[in-house]
């Protein structure tokens, strides 16, 4: 009797050759680097000089005046930080008891400098803006006079004070602030400004009073 040969198990069909092979995921291109505001011409923010971060507005507040607008500098986080660091750096290790800032942009810069130096802050304000007893100094304007004031108890006699403002032009307001702080008993150890307009001579007038002056940038004209 013939024996039956066991049937071999059928082979599993190979994967269809027509099946499409999975494609490897495409490599993503690196995202374009976003530049911070205030980077003209696509230059990285850290390479833009402070002077280029300051906007110039012609014929403001009157015809013939070039107004140096530092609100663009305040808006730029790198620029604002650099301004504060550069104003603080020369005073590292010096005794400064308090920073005084002149109304109004001097409040912004002076407050930040005082914070970095870990000292207090004195607002030098226009007449009638402070709520308590004040002392003040009148100073000459092109037409008429003006007055700045501080609180009577803002300064302790002999305190070392650094005066800060955004700009020095003819020096009228800054010199009045120096006289006022000295009247209150302060020892003025220096004046710091972001902008100097050397053609108007204010920096030299303050230096002639025996006070060192720091300015970060200069602009010609007025």
pLDDT(28) > 90:
no
Cβ-contact 146, 124 below 8 angstroms: no
Rounded Cα gap, residues 178 and 96, in angstroms? 15
**Domains of the chain: total:** 1
Query: pLDDT band for position 221 (50/70/90)?
Result: confident
Q: Is 12 a member of any domain?
A: no
Query: 9 or 50, which is more confident?
Result: 50
Q: Is 63 a member of any domain?
A: no
Query: pLDDT band for position 23 (50/70/90)?
Result: low
Q: Is 135 a member of any domain?
A: yes
Q: What is the pLDDT of residues 175-207, one digit of tens each?
A: 999 999 999 999 999 999 999 999 999 999 999
CATH number at residue 143: 3.40.50.2020
Rounded Cα gap, residues 39 and 46, in angstroms? 9
Token readout for 91 is 């005073």
Stretch 138-149: mean pLDDT: 89
Q: Is 23 a member of any domain?
A: no
Token readout for 48 is 């833009």
Q: Is 187 a member of any domain?
A: yes
Q: Is 70 a member of any domain?
A: no
Q: Is 133 a catalytic residue?
A: no
Q: Is 79 a member of any domain?
A: no
pTM of the shown model: 0.80
Stretch 85-113: mean pLDDT: 96
- The residue annotated as part of the active site, out of 55, 105, 147, 182, is 105
- The residue annotated as part of the active site, out of 28, 133, 142, 220, is 142
Please give the pLDDT value at position 6. 52
Per DSSP (E only), the strands in 94-154 are 98-102, 120-126, 134-140, 145-151
Query: pLDDT band for position 48 (50/70/90)?
Result: confident
Domain residue limits at 102: 94-218
Query: pLDDT band for position 143 (50/70/90)?
Result: confident
Cβ-contact 175, 139 below 8 angstroms: yes
Q: Is 185 a member of any domain?
A: yes
pLDDT(34) > 60:
no
Mean pLDDT of the chain: 87
Q: Is 142 a catalytic residue?
A: yes
Please give the pLDDT value at position 37. 47
Query: 96 or 38, which is more confident?
Result: 96
Please give the pLDDT value at position 141. 82
Q: Which residues contact 128 (CB under 8 A, 6 or more apart)?
A: 149
Rounded Cα gap, residues 190 and 94, in angstroms? 11
φ and ψ of 193, to 5 deg: -135, 155
Query: pLDDT band for position 41 (50/70/90)?
Result: low
pLDDT(212) > 50:
yes
Cβ-contact 161, 186 below 8 angstroms: yes
Stretch 215-220: mean pLDDT: 96
């Amino acid at each position: 009797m013939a024996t039956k040969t066991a049937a071999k198990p059928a082979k599993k069909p190979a994967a269809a050759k027509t099946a499409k092979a999975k494609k490897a995921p495409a490599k993503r291109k690196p995202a374009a680097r976003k530049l911070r505001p205030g980077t003209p011409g696509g230059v990285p923010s850290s390479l833009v000089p402070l002077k280029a971060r300051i906007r110039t507005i012609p014929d403001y507040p009157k015809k013939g005046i070039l107004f140096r607008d530092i609100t663009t500098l305040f808006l730029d986080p790198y620029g604002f930080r650099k301004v504060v660091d550069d104003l603080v750096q020369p005073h590292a290790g010096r005794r400064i008891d308090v920073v005084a800032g002149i109304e109004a942009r001097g409040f912004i810069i002076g407050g930040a400098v005082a914070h970095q130096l870990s000292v207090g802050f004195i607002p030098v304000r226009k007449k009638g803006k402070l709520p308590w007893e004040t002392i003040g100094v009148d100073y000459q304007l092109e037409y008429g006079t003006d007055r700045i004031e501080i609180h009577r108890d803002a300064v302790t006699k002999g305190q070392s004070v650094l005066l800060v403002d955004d700009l020095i032009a003819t020096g009228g307001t800054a010199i009045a602030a120096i006289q006022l702080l000295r009247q209150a008993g302060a020892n003025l150890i220096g004046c710091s400004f972001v902008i100097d307009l050397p053609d108007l001579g204010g920096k030299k007038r303050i230096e002639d009073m025996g006070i060192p002056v720091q300015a970060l940038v200069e602009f010609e004209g007025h």
